[in-house]
Structure 1
């Protein structure tokens, strides 16, 4: 034994050998990285991985964030499911709070890039890892994918039982989610950026006529229950809403109430920033199911949604108005560089691309319905047209109950009489009621505001009539003078 110990190398010899081996390894690594082209390095690494994998008892699933040009729903399900499985085995954890209104809210867990999470299911040990690839010259988007490792013998069980369990759990979480997001598209990085959506609007606080409110609620309830019906009749499971009317009549507030009622996220799309139809398809197909795609002020978004000039027979005379319209289109940049065309927009709403996703609401808002092309308005594209008009007595009573906490008052009849004569939006009424204080004082101020507006309208009408009368008298004098001279 003493002889054996005497023959062992000393500690200094071992450290010297270790340093030499390390230096040699670093030299080989430098040569490998600097002198060998990257494609060859990747090929060699892949071959070594294949060789060593033959001796491993593990099997690996790759779940990318995109699948066949659309979002990968399996990846999204894993994103929703995995934070619920965070345990003591997780060595790294991503934390964050996107609620800008509540800085003290507890942070939500997430999976960091290169972070590992271990899950247990029916005796299987599943290891998840999130990977991210840096953008290249062909794409500005960070590509992400999950790596799911299990034993080779558990491969079929993972496919048959575990992954369906992940998807079912994710659906249950989404159906009962407390937090909603509103997304805006970032053209520079080609991705949707989320922000926590906490709009307080509900159907309880919405100032709408009771009949219209109940119609909308019934329509929403019927839509979410009819998946099998849409499949049977061969139509995409989607619904199109057009909200139109003057500014300040509550169109955006109704969208918020619909999102809160259905618990759907909102994708707010600005068509002005979309480069072309191909870009539009890529943007819209990257939205998720159970969501609302919102395009506000569609009449201002692009000239492609405006009514097109009617075709004229060959040889027909071109009048001045038509000539001005054509000249205006030629001067318009969107005509020479069309961007989003009407056909491109319709193809996603009601064409083949409309089937890329399900359980979606597409909502357009506009102040001028008459400016929209009729092709955009027909049933199947915009299924429900909702006019959001000026304040009515019913809307006023709902606003009074919300802002003043009263259901009746002796001044209500006076206010309702004025509202029926004076056009005023619910937003303007709400602004007057938000002054607070004694309800009677607030109502009296509202009556004074309405009386002032009515008097201004009467004066304006008198001025217009006076000008028309003056023009008429001059015309008649000119006609009479011509007749007398002749």
Structure 2
């Protein structure tokens, strides 16, 4: 077959070439339409073999996600870290990011649709970065967007196949992992609130530590020891046949430091945090999908579990009060409010339990699951039993030892003459660490430690007066049932 030189082509020559192409397309269409499937498959295989003979290039793809967008692929991050070392040599389009808060320079890596070359023991390879186009947006939710599905392609001559598959890829993995460990990796805070069925993230830079927690020293040491035992228990969990995870239930009144404890745990373990908003999850299937996309070495958080969904056994209580069966309740005509609720999240208690310790709970490796609640008595016992929520941690009102931690944090004080008055009052009244911190925080540049401590003492005395008045009122009501006492709450009482 003659190859036409474009510089010497004539209109007649172009016409001949066009006719040849049309003839080929015509016969190829006939083969696809009327040939038996076996013959058509044979022709396609032969075509691929002929094409491979003339094209000696072998290609390996590394996608960001495994399977149908279910789990981030560790190999993708390793290749990205490896290419951040060599890609700046000849790639023209690069993207830059800070490797960590303490870094003083940017880390460069290949941008999408860019390529770079690499050499290994005399073999030349080409790395190409790409991105699968996102489908058209169909959701009316303003922040919904499909997660970009990126990939890397490695191309090399087939004569280097053994060298690349046996030595070069091992070199890439080792170098990439070393590069990741060298970086001061920023922790990430993920949420499903914006994209509902996908995780979005920002940098997690919460400064809380166990040293700054307003908690008794014995309790902090107990939690730290438990976390350390968990992180070193890979072989133990494997031997006993359990998924490498641990559940924590943090419960207590509002303002007692439950969320701060989660931040301290993440900083202590150096884990990412996944803040799961259950009301944004459509059903149990989406819940499993979100779980599968979490990474190892992470904390999955569900805050205020008693307020998230109807998982507190209220349906059972309704059936017991009405004497109706569950089937009768389902068939009963629903109100407009019920129909609106049904159009939202349909995550069930069964789906959440499977999320915690079912078969899907073992899909991501080393993870901590944390629930928080202000009303532990409302939770279903099936949710809080040991094995699901392994460790229950109560957060109560502030004690004097917790106050001393807050005084050190806010006022840089370890001792002060007014500490005695604070200790006496804190033994008699209940006040949350959040209220203590609010009173210790200087309101202006003129306020010093004395003014802040006096503000706290005044707040404690106010709470004490409220509690005393409540006791007196209760006694008066008991002695004179016909007497109705109306109270006008103070600012502090209203806040509580």
* TM-score (normalised: structure 1): 0.79
CA change 1:124–1:250 in 2 (3 A) is farther
Structure 1 236/457 Cα, relative in aligned 2: closer, same or farther at 3 Å? same
How far the C-alpha of 1:360 sits from its partner, in A, is: 0.9
> Using a 3 Å threshold, how does the CA distance of structure 1 residues 425 and 145 change in structure 2: closer, same or farther?
same
Aligned with 1:185 (options 192, 198, 217): 192
Question: 458, 463, 471: which one pairs with 1:453?
Answer: 463
Q: CA RMSD in A?
A: 4.1
Q: Alpha-carbon deviations, 1:258-298, whole Å to 9, x = none? A: 11111111111100000000011111111111111111111
Give 1:241's match in structure 2, choosing from 240, 244, 248. 248
Structure 1's 163 and 381: CA in aligned 2 closer, same or farther, altered over 3 A? farther
> Structure 2 matches for 1:136-175, cutoff 5 A?
136=135, 140-172=146-178
**2:468 equivalent to 1:462:** no
Distance verdict in 2 for CA 1:274–1:260, change over 3 Å: same
Partners of 2:196 and 2:109 lie apart in 1 by 22
Aligned to 2:441: 434
> Which whole-Å CA distance do the structure 2 matches of 1:172 and 1:245 have between them?
43
Show the counterpart of 2:279.
272
Note the residue ranges of structure 1 that are not aligned, 5 or more in a row: 1-12, 313-317, 475-486
- Asked if the contact 1:376/1:382 (under 8 Å) is kept, the reply is yes
Partner of 1:73: 74
CA 1:105–1:302 in structure 2 vs 1: closer, same or farther (change >3 Å)?
farther
Q: CA 1:473–1:88 in structure 2 vs 1: closer, same or farther (change >3 Å)?
A: closer
d(CA) in 1 for partners of 2:416 and 2:455?
14
Q: For residue 400 of structure 1, what is the aligned residue in structure 2?
A: 407
2:227 to 213, 220, 224: 220
Shift of 1:304: 2.5
* Matching of residue 422 in structure 1 with residue 429 in structure 2: yes
Q: Distance in 2 between matches of 1:168 and 1:310?
A: 57
**Residue 115 (1) aligns with residue 114 (2):** yes
Alignment coverage as a number of residue pairs:
445
- Report the Cα distance in structure 1 between the residues aligned to 2:176 and 2:408, rounded to whole angstroms: 39
Counterpart secondary structure, 1:204: helix
Alignment deviations for residues 200-248 of structure 1 (CA, whole Å, 9 cap, x no partner): 1112222221111111211222211121221111111111111111111
Q: Hey, what does 2:374 align to over in structure 1? A: 367
Deviation (angstroms), 1:124:
4.1
Contact 2:111-2:129 within 8 A present in 1 as well: yes
Deviation of 1:81 (Å):
3.7
Pair 1:47–1:115, CA change in 2 (3 A): farther
Structure 1 pair 211–81 and aligned structure 2 pair: CA distance change class (3 A): farther
SS at match of 1:385: strand
**Does the 8 A contact of 1:246 with 1:389 survive in 2?**
yes
Query: Against the structure 1 CA distance between its residues 412 and 91, is the aligned structure 2 distance closer, same or farther, given a 3 Å change threshold?
Result: same
Query: Could you say if the C-alpha distance between residues 84 and 228 of structure 1 is closer, same or farther in structure 2, counting changes exceeding 3 Å?
Result: farther
Q: Which residue is 1:134 aligned to?
A: 133
Contact 2:197 / 2:281 at 8 angstroms: preserved in 1? no
Q: Following the alignment from structure 2 to structure 1, what is the Cα–Cα distance between the partners of residues 167 and 457?
A: 67
Return 5+ residue gaps in structure 2 as ranges.
1-5, 34-40, 139-145, 485-496
In structure 2, the CA distance between the partners of 1:461 and 1:195, relative to structure 1 (3 Å rule), is same
CA distance in 1 between partners of 2:269 and 2:123 (Å): 36
Q: Secondary structure at 2:191's aligned position in 1?
A: strand
Alpha-carbon shift at residue 76 of structure 1 (Å): 3.4
Task: Give the whole-Å Cα distance in 1 for the aligned partners of 2:407 and 2:168.
Answer: 54
Deviation at 1:415, TM superposition (A): 0.5
